[in-house]
């Protein structure tokens, strides 16, 4: 079977149904408890798969329906972190948040997401992708009262993530994605140990590996930060040359409606590129032609066999109609470019 040309995918979250969690806000609390919650999460996951499949998304994910937060839901299941003991820290140098404290050696007793991933595997024959936080983004979401070293804690988390990634692979996950928005902020640490700890998290996997680096959800703190970045966002210039040399297979980046210069993609030539052709900071649904236009521009810098049309980031804060409309736009825009490419090839 020939692989799909330009397989579409989403970066991460989709809105949750209102019976499961309060809609249109990030990290909203669950509306159900106990067994009802477990069942509700799986029903929501089923719907997320159904909507992605119906709307032509080729690489299917769980839409993060079983998770409240892309970092803390994983950390909640680890030893060594006290969620009652909270400190206020600055997240990604941008906004203050009350976060849990590392009080002892971190470790994982049992797989965190493997059962959910197995359930996702049962729902579709399409390739599936699962997202985990990256080591640097994890340490940036905690107060460390134990290791007292960001690097040391990152190496510990990398080892834990690698165990989890191996379990996800065994559950049938085809692509394991690590979310590292911190790579767009802490350049020195990224160069010193950030890439190395990411590679440690991905070590020995047969599944494909991806890293997602973005400018964040469309929340005020992120939008204000973006306003300070000037007319060209060149942050990827720091990470891409290192990622090109790395063992990571796929790089997921923000593109449509951003000020990222398209030619920076040249810096990861040879890697697969998950290209953000859908804006997650704006409710306006892209037209298929707009999506196609973004993809055509990117194809100057990435080989068509390596391009995965995607979203800029997660879509959890949107209404369901907007998010689903954007999925359809992504597929429709991709179809236009597929047609053009097949004409050129034949």
Which residues of the shown chain bind Zn ion in the complex (CB under 5 A)?
214, 313
- Closest to Zn ion by CB, 127 vs 218, is 218
Minimum distance from residue 279 beta carbon to Zn ion (Å): 12
For residue 167, the minimal CB distance to Zn ion (Å) is: 23
**Residue number with CB closer to Zn ion (58 or 64):** 64
Strand 175-179, strand 208-213: pairing: parallel
Minimum CB distance to Zn ion smaller for 102 or for 195: 195
Cβ proximity to Zn ion: between 242 and 313 the closer is 313
Pair 332, 300: CB distance under 8 Å = no
Of 15 and 80, which CB lies nearer to Zn ion in the complex structure? 15
Which of 64, 167 has the CB closer to Zn ion?
A: 64
Measured from the CB of residue 299, what is the shortest distance to Zn ion in angstroms? 23
What's the closest the beta carbon of residue 129 comes to Zn ion, in angstroms? Answer: 14
Least Å from the CB of residue 281 to Zn ion? 11
Longest dimension (CA), the chain: 63
H/E stretch holding 129 reads strand 129-133
- When the beta carbons of 214 and 330 are compared against Zn ion, the nearer one is 214
Angle in degrees, 0-180, between the axes of helices 288-298 and 320-345, rounded to the nearest 10: 50
Can you read off the two tokens belonging to residue 73? Answer: 């839901």
Q: What is residue 293's three-state secondary structure?
A: helix
Distance between CA 148 and CA 244 in Å, rounded? 31
Q: Which residue is associated with the tokens 């593109």?
A: 255
Q: Where are the alpha helices (DSSP H) in 175-319?
A: 187-189, 195-201, 220-227, 236-245, 288-298
Say if CB 151 and CB 189 are below 8 A apart: yes
Q: Shortest distance, CB of residue 252 to Zn ion, whole angstroms?
A: 8
Helix, strand, coil shares of the chain, percent, nearest 5, are: 40, 20, 40
Kindly provide the residue ranges of all beta strands, DSSP E only, lying in 218-319, ordered along the sequence.
250-253, 272-276, 307-310
CB of 312 to Zn ion, least distance (A): 7
């Amino acid at each position: 079977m020939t692989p799909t040309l330009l397989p579409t995918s989403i970066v991460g979250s989709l809105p949750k149904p209102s019976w499961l969690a309060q809609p249109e806000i990030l990290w909203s609390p669950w509306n159900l408890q106990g067994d009802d919650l477990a069942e509700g999460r799986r029903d929501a996951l089923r719907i997320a798969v159904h909507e992605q499949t119906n709307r032509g998304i080729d690489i299917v994910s769980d839409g993060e329906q079983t998770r409240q937060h892309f970092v803390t839901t994983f950390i909640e299941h680890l030893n060594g972190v006290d969620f009652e003991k909270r400190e206020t820290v600055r997240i990604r140098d941008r906004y203050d948040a009350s976060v849990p404290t590392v009080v002892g050696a971190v470790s994982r007793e049992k797989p965190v997401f493997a059962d959910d991933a197995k359930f996702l595997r049962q729902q579709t024959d399409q390739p599936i992708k699962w997202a985990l936080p990256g080591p640097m983004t994890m340490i940036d979401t905690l107060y460390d009262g134990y290791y007292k070293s960001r690097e040391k804690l990152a190496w510990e988390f990398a080892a834990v993530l690698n165990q989890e990634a191996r379990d996800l692979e065994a559950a049938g996950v085809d692509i394991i994605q690590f979310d590292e928005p911190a790579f767009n902020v802490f350049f020195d640490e990224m160069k010193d140990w950030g890439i190395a700890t990411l590679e440690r998290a991905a070590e020995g996997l047969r599944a494909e590996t991806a890293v997602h680096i973005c400018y964040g959800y469309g929340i005020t703190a992120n939008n204000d930060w973006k306003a300070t970045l000037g007319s060209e966002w060149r942050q990827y210039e720091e990470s891409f040359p290192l990622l090109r040399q790395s063992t990571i297979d796929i790089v997921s980046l923000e593109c449509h409606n951003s000020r990222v210069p398209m030619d920076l993609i040249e810096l990861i030539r040879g890697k697969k590129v998950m290209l953000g052709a859908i804006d997650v900071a704006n409710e306006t649904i892209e037209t298929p032609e707009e999506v196609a236009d973004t993809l055509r521009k990117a194809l100057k810098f990435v080989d068509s066999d390596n391009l995965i049309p995607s979203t800029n980031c997660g879509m959890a804060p949107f209404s369901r109609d907007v998010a689903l409309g954007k999925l359809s736009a992504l597929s429709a825009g991709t179809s236009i470019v597929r047609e053009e490419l097949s004409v050129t090839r034949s």
